[in-house]
Amino acid sequence: MFESLKKKFKGTIGKISDDVASDEKLESSEAETDKSAEVSKKTEEISKDESVEKPVDQNLEESDNTDEAKKSGFMGFLRGNKSSEENISDNVTPDSELSETMEADSTTNSSDEVIEETDKDDKSGILSFVRNKTISEKDIEDTLFELEMSLLEGDVAMDVAETIIRSVKTDLVGQKIKRRSDVAEFTMIALKKAISDILDIEGRDLTALLENAKKTGEPLKIMFVGINGTGKTTTIAKISTYFMNKGYTPVIAASDTFRAGAIEQLTHHADKLNVKIIKHKKGADPAAVAYDAVAHARAKGKELVLVDTAGRMQTNVNLMDEMKKIQRVIKPDLIIYVGDALTGNDSVEQAEKFNDAVGIDGIILTKADADAKGGAALSIGYVIQKPILFLGVGQSYSDIIEFKPEWMVEQILGD
Ligand code: GDP
Ligand code: GDP
């Protein structure tokens, strides 16, 4: 998941460091050596050594499907898996040798790893060229543009991408840095903060809601909306499983009476899970089915009613009227929009339509396991301003996880 964004971010952040690093070098008049010559010399040495990693750009081209690439992730270089130049240097000159070289001949070492080293070992006196630098708007303008493009290509909605970029820029400009790696670090912190802020919409704890409902003797009524094929019926089966594992007893209402096969499909899930399903014949009034399911739950002391609904095109007026009718009749405690992470911005638009018609309380994004871009997840909560409650992460009934903003940040930026 999110490999595409990680890949793009990785390149972009590397560039941020390089931009600022080159500024630093301009500022430092001491210890000037011909860095490009040095790097190319090192590259030559590297090419002789099969075991040495390739420069990052090349890695990116080839790494899509490798486990290594997944592990290295965005910002991997901050954790020791350094950017291309640093890789080169590290591989050619082990740390111990490096400090020896530095002590022996400090004036000829101006390459970036020395900047890193000086923190640990400033005996050599070459610290003098490492000055505080304040990040200016100009330092990062190109990079922010690239970052925004990456977000858009990753299916993040325009206004969400702009919000992230604004936030990152505000956080970065004016920061004082000592080492070039600080820029990458500060950028990662700023990105994390921006993403967390977007996703951190106060959610409702479904289990707490269930407990509250139980105290009043009423079942908790959840209505699921969303277009066909997004994984709505599978999600209802997953939510049933999730709450049965917590000791609750659900009942399912087959209120999609419109689509051929919908009742059968849901019945199949319910039978497998041994959950009671209330159904009428095809074409029946969906609100009546939901009503019956609530009556059943009340009569049998079941804690949870999960209502499936029809999901043709979200623009269909009949469909939206039908949703409103179910809502009027059973007064659900929660209306959950089920969206397919793979459909990107379409999913955001659909959510808006349902939100306008009936008001959504929360979101479940399915197929997050297969989402290569990750943008829908980031956009949808922001646009609808409703929390993502769960993520569907596979085809089996247990493949559902509670959504946490930190988890998403880790998916996008982590290893
Ligand atoms: P509905 O038409 O919205 O009820 O969609 P279904 O529940 O029938 O799901 C459509 C397809 O998506 C099925 O093949 C499901 O197994 C699959 N699916 C549902 N949720 C997920 C998920 O979280 N991950 C993956 N990989 N597939 C899913
Ligand atoms: P159209 O908009 O005139 O083409 O009609 P539809 O194909 O949308 O609907 C035809 C009939 O089916 C109408 O009597 C609708 O009330 C009913 N209907 C439409 N959509 C749904 C739905 O999603 N569920 C159910 N149960 N009935 C529907």
Residue 400: per-residue pLDDT:
96
Mean pLDDT of 268-272: 98
**Nearest atom (ligand 1) to Cα of 393:** 23
Within this chain, do residues 224 and 331 fall inside the same structural domain, yes or no?
A: yes
- The CA distances from residue 196 to 13, 157, 200, 408, in Å, are 19, 16, 6, 8
The verdict on the CB of residue 339 being under 6 Å from ligand 1 is: no
On whether residue 415 sits in a domain, the answer given is: no
pLDDT tens per residue, range 96-129: 443 343 344 444 444 443 334 334 444 444 443 4
Within this chain, do residues 80 and 168 fall inside the same structural domain, yes or no?
A: yes
Residue pair 174/137 in contact by the 8 Å Cβ criterion: no
Q: Percent of the chain scored above 90 by pLDDT?
A: 36
**Nearest atom (ligand 1) to Cα of 229:** 2
Residue 183: exposure state from Cβ atoms within 10 A (0-12, 13-18, ≥19): buried
- The domain of 357 spans 206-405
Of residues 10 and 46, the one with the higher pLDDT is: 10
Residue pair 298/218 in contact by the 8 Å Cβ criterion: yes
Within this chain, do residues 30 and 179 fall inside the same structural domain, yes or no?
A: yes
* Final residue in a domain of this structure, among 180, 199, 218: 199
Within this chain, do residues 192 and 265 fall inside the same structural domain, yes or no?
A: no
Within this chain, do residues 69 and 106 fall inside the same structural domain, yes or no?
A: yes
Q: How far is the CA of 360 from the centre of ligand 2 (A)?
A: 22
Residue 24: per-residue pLDDT:
54
Residue 369: per-residue pLDDT:
85
Within this chain, do residues 138 and 287 fall inside the same structural domain, yes or no?
A: no
Of residues 67 and 77, the one with the higher pLDDT is: 67
pLDDT at 33 over 50: no
* Final residue in a domain of this structure, among 163, 182, 199: 199
pLDDT at 91 over 90: no
* Final residue in a domain of this structure, among 199, 226, 251: 199
**Region of poorest pLDDT, from 13-22, 76-85, 254-263, 332-341:** 76-85
Q: What CATH number does the domain containing 80 carry?
A: 1.20.120.140
On whether residue 212 sits in a domain, the answer given is: yes
Considering only CA atoms, which of 92, 89, 67, 66 is closest in space to residue 77? 89
Residue pair 73/415 in contact by the 8 Å Cβ criterion: yes
Using alpha carbons only, what angle is made at residue 85 by residues 99 and 169, rounded to the nearest 5 degrees?
A: 110
Instruction: Tell me the torsion sign for CA atoms 186, 191, 196, 198.
Output: positive
**Nearest atom (ligand 2) to Cα of 285:** 26
On whether residue 261 sits in a domain, the answer given is: yes
CA distance 325 to 289: 12
Within this chain, do residues 292 and 247 fall inside the same structural domain, yes or no?
A: yes
pLDDT tens per residue, range 153-177: 777 888 888 999 999 999 999 988 8
Within this chain, do residues 139 and 274 fall inside the same structural domain, yes or no?
A: no
The verdict on the CB of residue 269 being under 6 Å from ligand 1 is: no
What angle do the packed helices 180-199 and 405-413 form, to 10 degrees?
Answer: 140
Closest-lying ligand to the alpha carbon of 313? 2
Q: Which protein residue's CA is at the shortest distance from atom 8 of ligand 1?
A: 231
Mean pLDDT of 237-254: 97
Mean pLDDT of 370-396: 83
The verdict on the CB of residue 255 being under 6 Å from ligand 2 is: no
Residue 182: per-residue pLDDT:
76
On whether residue 414 sits in a domain, the answer given is: no
Q: How far is the CA of 318 from the centre of ligand 2 (A)?
A: 6
Within this chain, do residues 273 and 217 fall inside the same structural domain, yes or no?
A: yes
Within this chain, do residues 140 and 215 fall inside the same structural domain, yes or no?
A: no
Those residues with Cβ within 8 angstroms of residue 89's Cβ, 6 or more apart along the chain or in another chain: 42, 111, 112, 113
Residue 105: per-residue pLDDT:
41
Within this chain, do residues 246 and 125 fall inside the same structural domain, yes or no?
A: no
Mean pLDDT of 27-31: 46
Of residues 187 and 238, the one with the higher pLDDT is: 238
On whether residue 410 sits in a domain, the answer given is: no
On whether residue 153 sits in a domain, the answer given is: yes
Residue 268: per-residue pLDDT:
97
Considering only CA atoms, which of 293, 304, 287, 180 is closest in space to residue 240? 304
Residue pair 239/228 in contact by the 8 Å Cβ criterion: no
The verdict on the CB of residue 319 being under 6 Å from ligand 2 is: yes
On whether residue 89 sits in a domain, the answer given is: yes
pLDDT at 192 over 60: yes
